[in-house]
Amino acid sequence: HVGWHVPNLGILLPIGLSFHTFQAMSYTIEVYRGEAKAERHFGIYALYVMFFPQLVAGPIERATHLLPALVNTRSVRLDQSLRGLHLILLGLFKKVAIANGVAQSVDSIYNSTHAAGAGDVALATLLFAVQIYCDFSAYTDIARGSAKLLGIDLIENFRQPYFSTNPSEFWRRWHISLSTWLRDYLYIPLGGNRGSHGATYRNLMATMLLGGLWHGAAWNFVLWGAFHGAILCVHRFVSGGREPARGAWTWLKLPLFFALTCYGWLLFRANSFEQIAVFTRALATGANAFALSIHPPTFAALIGLPLLFALEALEHVRDDRLYYLRFPVWSRGALYAAMVFVILLGTSNEPTQFIYFQF
């Protein structure tokens, strides 16, 4: 019965630790490979690693892209600044009005102790898919917009990922800077798809497992990585490594793959293996599908979501990031006024962190 209190160190970790670690590793690897020249000015190198707009949650910049922008002469142009302000407004709209507006609905099911039926689980998971996309892409939009005001273009990190019809396409659209980092510095060095089919599947699974583990030392993140690794392997086996063309079946494959993506988000958001098992069983059996106890989203989220979907669908169909510049001046002004109005509706005295701050 001897009490022994082991001393522990109260260490403060730097903000954005995983993001600027990946950025520093990118620089080291590319200099080692001869793809980038070593930066001799420590201040420029430090600015590259700790560039404040994207420091906390990305996008993860490559040395070959960001370092030249910091070294070369920059010019601040009106069109670039207006684009930056548009991105900042869009990011605030996604975060304040929508992500924060559905957060309480998601928590009312995933953080509750009462038994949840299939309807509650399905709605909470669907809203979490909305929350994590709007929350994470909002930070990226604000980071890219802030950098544009300084005359620097950061890479695109999201490209309407929920319009994907297969897992390969999804990872070309979701958190692009991380997925390409894992591809170039992990998947390809492991052998990529240059070996046998078995080796390719092994490389895919290893890459996605480590990608899941990057989000945190928790088994649900590993399970989420394994889930995406498995569907990537199945897709590669079925497609033979060829990207299927979009055709008549696109509008059937899109909702089917979105349902798979949402189940992956269930694994990601769940608090324990037991909750994953209970929620999966509820979805499989359809238990209490119509007995809903989920907290309703805020009014700002309810009117903001259709507006965001319309903007995303328009950008996806036109395949043009500057689609809004084609609007007449009056309609663009009306759009911005509507976004500001919804942001004000969603403003709350309860601060809500960005989800990816914890990673």
Catalytic residue numbers?
A: 215
The dihedrals phi and psi of 5, each to the nearest 5 degrees, come to -95, 105
Cα angle, residue 203 at apex, residues 163 and 173 outer, rounded to 5°: 20
Indicate the DSSP class of residue 55: T
Query: What's the start-to-end Cα distance of the chain, in Å?
Result: 39
Residue partners of 338: CB distance under 8 A and separation at least 6: 307
> In Å, how far are 27, 29, 30, 72, 221 from 34, measured between CA atoms?
11, 9, 6, 20, 34
Ramachandran region, residue 153 (left: φ > 0; alpha: ψ -120 to 50; beta: rest): beta
Q: CA-CA distances (angstroms) from residue 311 to 129, 224, 304, 319?
A: 17, 29, 11, 12
Please choose, from the candidates 15, 24, 28, the residue with its C-alpha nearest in 3D space to the C-alpha of residue 55. 15
Nearest 5 degrees, angle CA 288-CA 289-CA 290?
A: 95
Contact present, 243 and 168 (Cβ < 8 Å):
yes
User: Which contiguous run of DSSP H or E holds residue 235?
Assistant: helix 219-239
Which residues, including other chains, have CB under 8 Å from residue 124's CB and lie 6 or more apart? 105, 106, 108, 109, 110, 116, 294
Comparing C-alpha atoms, which of 252, 4, 278, 3 is closest to residue 116?
A: 278
CA distances from 300 to 102, 150, 177, 263, 340 (A): 9, 31, 30, 26, 11
Take residue 13 and report the two structure tokens written for it.
């970790």
216: region left, alpha or beta (phi > 0 left; psi from -120 to 50 alpha):
left
